[in-house]
Chain A
Amino acid sequence: MTDLTDLTITQALAGLSAKDFSATELTKAHLTAMENARHLNAYIVETPELALSQAKASDDRIAKGQMGKLEGIPLGIKDLFCTTGVQTTAGSKILEGFKPTYESTVSQNLLNAGSSMLGKLNLDEFAMGSSNTTSAYGNVISPWTRNNGDNRPLVPGGSSGGSSAAVAARLCLGATGTDTGGSIRQPAAFSGIVGIKPTYGRCSRWGVVAFASSLDQAGPFARTVEDCALLLEVMSGHDPKDSTSANLPVPNFRQSLTGDMKGLRVGIPKEYRMKGMDPAIEKSWDQGIAWCKDAGAEIVDVSLPHTQYALPAYYIIAPAEASSNLARYDGVRYGQRVEGKNLQDMYELTRAQGFGSEVKRRIMIGTYVLSAGYYDAYYIKAQKIRRLIADDFKKAYEQCDVLLTPATPSPAFAIGENEDDPVKMYLNDVFTVTVNLAGLPGMSVPVGLSPDGLPLGLQIIGKAWDEATVFRTGGVIERAAQFSARPQGVTSRAA
């Protein structure tokens, strides 16, 4: 029998429907894999009892012929999504032990479709990071290693590093992530899997611990474009509890996987061809362009002239919003409290001990850029840049239907690398932040390996609300790339 953990969601649904195996068996296979892969530290909390009881309920429904869209599919949930009765930490010590009495809309949608939850996935603290090295619950280690004898443990990307590592290492069939500046697409690229950040407003933010509200958006990770399409269909939808959630119908994204790109114009933004870019990345990008052409697409050179200002603008807007969003973690009502001599002292001790250094850095930057006397020079200026960047995309889309770019400037790096200089770390988001600033959908699809054996991803950027064309393009690239590489540890387990 094929290793049940190696199935795609689509294959697993077929197997469950044909009663080749039960949801309980599928879940148990994953729980065993999780036990064997604890060194990766992908999960902060494992919820085997919950997963098995949900699987049992799925088996009962399958027996009655009542299959939900994700019936019996075991998933991992990023620990930024609030889950009823299960500790939700956002990767921070300040929320240690916090068990919400409510379920985020996105994870509830997944449960309603019949999926089960294997556990809560590790992440950078409050989703702030590109390496999953800022979590209070330890680093996540990528299941991938270089093939050149350099055995240093690698980062899975961040902030959704637990999600990407778990999906790549076959510790769940799919996972949720959130993406504020690249936190789905960069880890997907680093881990050789597919991840999509949909249009801002496609998924409800209700019950997702906020980092930067105007940029945060939930999305799925899976090992195929089709699985991502299915997961996103279930996760999406209007939610009256989120004023920024769009009241639009959710298309059947899987239907857009036509396998061809006839009549589509693919834009190649010249500003993304940066000096000193990793040659392997550049090569994969050219390869991707060729695949699109082969599938019938027209290639168009476009310009996104304000790209170079995106990163500075992002690192003003996101910390500004974060500094305010994180004010509620004050030790008064829930989470960690460190008693002090007086109120001020309690606040200071609680927040000093509860937050890690990256979170503190961003709270301080955010507080500074919103301060009297600096607000216009920083926050207002950054908002103007944000508008210019959105306009860049609008203009580009007069000439094309979808954009193709690299997902990251380099393949995965070793844990500890890039840690000396926060700006170096922030540069990881150079290809992804523009998409958040403009609120557009963006997907990372694995296309090949670097010379030292690490996955490379390409990013497909669509028009607002046009995830369908993103999936269609992603499907073509996925099929052409035939990406079949597996993390080393996983290869040996495959049947």
Chain B
Amino acid sequence: MAELIKGETGAWEMVIGLEVHAQVIANSKLFSGAATSFGAEPNSQVSLVDAAMPGMLPVLNEYCVEQAVKTGLGINAAINKVSVFERKNYFYPDLPQGYQISQFQHPIVGMGFIEIDMPDGTSRTIGITRLHLEQDAGKSMHDQHPTKSYVDLNRSGSALMEIVSEPDLRSGEEVVAYLNKLRMILRYLGTCDGNMEEGSMRCDVNLSLRRPGAPFGTRTEVKNVNSVKAAQMAIEYEAARQLEILESGGTIKQETRLWDPAKLETRSLRSKEDAHDYRYFPDPDLLPLKLTDEMIERIRATLPELPDQKKHRFTNEYGLTIYDAGVLISDAGRAAYFETVAKGRDPKLAANWVLNELLGRLNKDGKSLDESPVTAAQLSGLIALISDNTISGKIAKDVFAEMFATGKEASAIVEEKGLKQVTDTGAIEKIVDDVIAANPDNVAAYKGGKDKLFGFFVGQVMKNSGGKANPDIVNELLKKKLS
């Protein structure tokens, strides 16, 4: 449900649409053969085309097209079999051609949607308006010289996917869920690494306020939002700013604003009147991009299981809660780890161990799943020992700690330390008898009605068995002997 803002004059609803720029994972740029790795020496990954030398021509990188199609399919979108590259004309030193090759009237991907998961366990569907391919610009560096600006063209010409959402988002929380889900999908697909810190995923926020049920209000566009956290803060700030204007009877100016991550505020960049006239027109250096059904189907066949599909399968097939499934599928590697652990085991037990013990421990050590000293197969082995009553859940935690520290197999540790659970009724019975004999007062009290003392007897038996006695047998024997 839409969460409303309570103003002094009544309730307001936020209406938010996002434009996400996602850098395509590809070895070379959208229209040139230059490399695209992050962090290289300035201007070391620049071809003649990227530097817009006279007479240079763009040649479309087919792999980037495949990546865009794959992403389109991953967001349940229509793939347009004919799309057109157009030139967006403006002058800036980090835009060598004087125009950006983008798609305008005919994008490669049309309407689609993604499902977002809210912390309260509900889901919402957010519409995607379009996805188009375009070139990235270079980078202007204003801090390298007292009076001059430098330009690094390494990024110039890299492929971006601009993914535009419908104005379907209603709160900062939904925006966070949207960005997380979109990033998850892109990572599953391998089409964008989603690293906002490295700038490979960037976001512009379009936001307006309205009275619930009223038509859309005037929006502002906030640029330079470079993390999920920044998105949430920028939205909070911008909504509060607009609220104040509207509540005092003012009107919102349609404009482009900039998020300042240092001052934590948005400020006006340019008004609608100053907006560029980009003079879009079809790029005559490139033919319309035509895709065949065969190509689209070939790409469809390479799609991995996507996060939502996996989530639904985890709940259906393994009986996990939506929440647990959601945490497990948030990363493809984590989901795969879980499935290896769960193979042939009790899936809920496996989920508990992965989520609580393993991830908790990794988190404590600041390690990622890739760095885990315990492999999925080893964890599965540990769970097998619990399931067949070789060890109790409590002992298992000690074994796990040992596995985490040494990387040894669970069975080896159990063997080595003699932690095997005692299921021999005779042996346990002897301990039970000893405990009963040693605590006549408590026996009397228990029999006199103090039921809670049962726990005391269990604890004593377990303690005397070194934790190895099978708890079920202990319970059974105690009940029998104390009755």
Contact = CB atoms under 8 A, between A and B. Distances in A.
* SS class, residues of chain A in contact with chain B: loop
A330 B279 CA distance: 18
Nearest to A209: B54
Interface string B42-80: 000000100111111111100000000000000000000
Nearest to A344: B91
B98 interface: yes
A371 B277 contact: yes
B57 A242 contact: yes
Interface in B282-317: 284-287
Interface in A172-217: 205-210, 212-214
A90 B89 contact: no
Interface of A: 81-82, 88, 90, 95, 98, 100-102, 104, 205-210, 212-214, 240-244, 320-321, 323-324, 326-328, 330, 332-334, 343, 347, 367, 370-372, 375, 379
A328 B279 contact: no
Contacts of B362: none
Contacts of A243: 57-60, 285-287
A104 B55 contact: yes
Given A330-B91, A375-B281, A208 B98 contact: no
A23 to B, nearest CB: 28
Contact of B284 (A104, A321, A327): A321
Contacts of A330: 91, 93, 98
Given A243-B60, A333-B96, A98 B286 contact: no
Nearest to A90: B54
A95 B277 contact: no
B57 A370 contact: no
A347 B91 contact: yes
A328 B54 contact: yes
Given A328-B97, A333-B51, A320 B59 contact: no
A100 B57 contact: no
B52 A210 contact: no
Contacts of B287: 243-244
B228 interface: no
A327 B91 contact: yes
Contacts of B59: 240-243
B99 interface: yes
B87 interface: yes
A82 B151 CA distance: 25
Nearest to A214: B284
Nearest 3 pairs of A and B residues by beta carbon: A327-B98, A214-B284, A370-B279
Given A243-B285, A244-B285, A370-B281, A324 B55 contact: no
B364 to A, nearest CB: 51
5 contacts: A102-B53, A207-B55, A207-B56, A241-B57, A326-B98
A82 B56 CA distance: 10
B54 A100 contact: yes
Interface centre among B93, B284, B285, B286 (most CB of A within 10 A): B284
A213 B285 contact: yes
A97 to B, nearest CB: 13
Contact of A209 (B48, B55, B93, B280): B55
A87 to B, nearest CB: 12
A334 B53 CA distance: 8
Contact of A98 (B54, B87, B98, B99): B54
A327 B87 CA distance: 11
Contacts of A95: 54
